[in-house]
């Protein structure tokens, strides 16, 4: 495992240089910095707790935009014949985002020691697992340049999708939050005053308003208990999802969520089919290709189930029949796999399947973006309508009472 070392030294201009670097031993750090013309005067290993701190969820991660830029640049340099080490060194020097620059520097050191790129990225720890599995497939199939270019396109598309969702949700979410705050302020401050006024004129309060006041009073008395209970429940669920069984159940649940589940299944099939196509096209046997493609599913539940299918295929069963045992594989995809097995062109059928489901996934995503805003607006309308309903009943009753008095 990589250790962190804090160092201080002088560069070729005589300037003092300080920093922190990851490597296996102190000697590796000194040799690497010497190549950069930095002479060390002091070096010390940092406490192992710093490695744990780097895994904290709120730490800044490498953005999809930066990942796209990195993979596009790496693909371009590999395509013109630049070696991996030279490409990483050049990109690291030109990269502006600090987090990505340091990550590339650490990967460069590991590749320099003889580690493959995928393992170096895995040890470094900041790159997404999907990109690591993809690079590993590229190294084994001999199509690393193609895989790296596809990763650039993938992260560029993911970044565009994220900004589309962000743009579509910004205004509705702002309206919802504002409406909720106004609604809560009305319930806590204005409604009790209004009901006191109504009580001074008449003894009766509308049943809906009375129940709402009783509910608010209950929340005020026991609010701290509900807060602690909700926090404990959320923490328990979070910790459970970090266990092996909990992770599988959580990802199984996500596959059955309306709209989101279908998008995840389509995404999973696109990358699984594309990876299987590349591996089969490189001459890798079907069983080995299936085992290497499992990581592209990015779903522990599906991976666990599919490993059993691979064992059955190894025992002589047909892949398409094994896929029929699971509901997460669409019937169309299973039929395409079966046709590929019959014709002996499973590689070509996987290419068609990945293109088909990629188009369907993009189309469904665009439809989801179009539907999000009206759905949120309807929610706001229901919230405002309920607030008006709560207000209008006491007002009408107050007006009737005043009319009777007059």
pLDDT in tens, 223-282: 778 889 889 999 998 888 888 888 888 888 988 888 888 888 888 888 888 888 888 887
- Residue 240, CB-side half-sphere exposure with 13 Å CA sphere: 10
Within a domain: residue 109? yes
Considering 12, 27, 53, which residue would you say is the last residue of a domain?
A: 53
Same domain assignment for residues 39 and 105: no
Within a domain: residue 133? yes
Considering 102, 131, 157, which residue would you say is the last residue of a domain?
A: 157
- Token code pair at residue 133: 């599995």
Within a domain: residue 249? no
Q: By C-alpha distance, which of 9, 100, 93 is closest to 60?
A: 100
Considering 157, 185, 211, which residue would you say is the last residue of a domain?
A: 157
Q: Give the pLDDT confidence score for residue 276 in this predicted structure.
A: 86
The residues, any chain, with a CB within 8 Å of residue 384's CB and separated by 6 or more, are 179
The residues, any chain, with a CB within 8 Å of residue 167's CB and separated by 6 or more, are none
Q: Give the pLDDT confidence score for residue 87 in this predicted structure.
A: 92
The four Cα atoms 229, 230, 233, 238 give a dihedral, to 10 degrees, of -140
User: Which DSSP helix (H) or strand (E) runs through 5?
Assistant: strand 3-10
Whole-angstrom distance, CA of residue 291 vs CA of residue 205? 68
Helix, strand or coil, per DSSP, at residue 18? strand
Beginning with the edge strand found earlier in the chain, give each strand of the sheet holding 3-10 in spatial order: 16-23, 3-10, 39-45
Whole-angstrom distance, CA of residue 336 vs CA of residue 189? 62
Are the C-beta atoms of residues 117 and 107 closer than 8 Å to each other? yes
| Residue 121 Cα to chain centre, angstroms | 18
Are the C-beta atoms of residues 76 and 48 closer than 8 Å to each other? no
Q: Give the pLDDT confidence score for residue 57 in this predicted structure.
A: 44
Same domain assignment for residues 287 and 343: yes
Domain residues for the domain of 82 are 64-157
pLDDT in tens, the chain (406 residues): 567 788 888 888 888 888 777 666 788 778 778 877 888 888 888 765 555 445 444 445 788 889 999 999 999 999 898 999 999 989 988 888 887 888 888 888 888 878 899 988 887 878 888 888 888 888 888 888 888 988 888 888 888 878 877 777 787 778 778 877 877 777 677 767 766 766 665 556 667 666 766 776 777 677 778 889 889 999 998 888 888 888 888 888 988 888 888 888 888 888 888 888 888 887 788 888 888 788 778 888 888 888 888 888 888 888 888 888 887 888 899 999 999 999 988 889 998 998 899 888 888 888 887 887 788 778 778 877 777 776 666 666 666 766 665 5
Q: Give the pLDDT confidence score for residue 285 in this predicted structure.
A: 85
- Token code pair at residue 136: 């590993």
What is the DSSP annotation of 303-335?
HHHHHHHHHHHHTT--HHHHHTT-TTS-HHHHH
Chain segment 288-335, per-residue pLDDT in tens: 888 878 877 888 888 888 888 888 888 888 888 888 888 788 889 999
Let me know how long the chain is: 406
Within a domain: residue 165? no
Are the C-beta atoms of residues 17 and 10 closer than 8 Å to each other? yes
Whole-angstrom distance, CA of residue 345 vs CA of residue 342? 8
Q: Give the pLDDT confidence score for residue 179 in this predicted structure.
A: 77
**How many structural domains compose the chain?**
3
Within a domain: residue 79? yes
- Token code pair at residue 4: 């962190």
Residue bearing tokens 């709120």: 58
Same domain assignment for residues 264 and 355: yes
Same domain assignment for residues 42 and 141: no
Q: Give the pLDDT confidence score for residue 51 in this predicted structure.
A: 54
Report the CATH number at residue 349: 1.20.81.30
pTM of the predicted model as reported, rounded to 2 decimal places:
0.65
Within a domain: residue 390? no
Whole-angstrom distance, CA of residue 122 vs CA of residue 125? 5
Same domain assignment for residues 14 and 110: no
Within a domain: residue 148? yes
Within a domain: residue 325? yes
Whole-angstrom distance, CA of residue 43 vs CA of residue 357? 53
């Amino acid at each position: 495992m990589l250790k962190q070392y804090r160092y201080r030294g002088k560069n070729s201009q005589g300037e003092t240089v300080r920093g922190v670097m990851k490597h296996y031993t102190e000697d590796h750090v000194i040799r690497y910095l010497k190549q950069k013309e930095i002479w060390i005067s002091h070096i010390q290993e940092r406490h192992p707790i710093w490695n744990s701190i780097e895994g904290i969820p709120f730490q800044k991660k490498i953005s999809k935009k930066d990942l796209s830029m990195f993979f596009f640049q790496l693909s371009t340099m590999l395509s013109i014949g630049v070696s991996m080490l030279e490409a990483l060194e050049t990109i690291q020097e030109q990269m502006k985002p600090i987090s990505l620059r340091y990550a590339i520097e650490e990967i460069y050191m590991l590749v320099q020691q003889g580690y493959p790129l995928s393992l170096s990225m895995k040890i470094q720890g900041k790159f997404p697992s999907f990109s690591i599995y993809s690079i590993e497939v590229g190294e084994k199939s001999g199509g690393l340049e193609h895989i790296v270019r596809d990763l650039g396109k993938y992260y560029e598309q993911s970044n565009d999708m994220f900004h589309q969702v962000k743009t579509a949700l910004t205004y509705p979410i702002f309206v919802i939050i504002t409406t909720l705050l106004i609604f809560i302020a009305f319930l806590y401050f204005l409604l009790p005053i209004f009901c006191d006024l109504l009580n001074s004129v008449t003894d009766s309060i509308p049943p809906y308003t009375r129940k709402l006041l009783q509910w608010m009073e209950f929340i005020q008395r026991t609010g701290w208990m509900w807060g602690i209970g909700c926090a404990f429940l959320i923490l328990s669920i979070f910790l459970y999802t970090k266990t092996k069984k909990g992770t599988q159940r959580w990802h199984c649940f996500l596959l059955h969520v309306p709209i989101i589940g279908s998008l995840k299944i389509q995404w999973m099939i696109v990358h699984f089919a594309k990876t299987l196509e590349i591996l089969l096209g490189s001459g890798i046997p079907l069983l080995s290709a299936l085992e290497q493609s499992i990581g592209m599913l990015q779903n522990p539940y599906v991976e666990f189930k599919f490993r059993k299918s691979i064992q059955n295929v190894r025992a002589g069963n047909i892949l398409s029949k094994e896929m029929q045992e699971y509901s997460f594989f669409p019937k169309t995809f299973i039929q395409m796999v079966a046709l590929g097995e019959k014709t002996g062109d499973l590689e070509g059928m996987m290419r068609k399947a990945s293109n088909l489901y990629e188009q369907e996934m993009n189309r469904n995503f665009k439809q989801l973006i179009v539907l999000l805003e009206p759905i949120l607006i309807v929610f706001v309308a229901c919230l405002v309508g309920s607030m008006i309903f709560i207000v209008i009943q006491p007002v009408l009753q107050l007006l009737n009472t005043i009319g009777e008095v007059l």
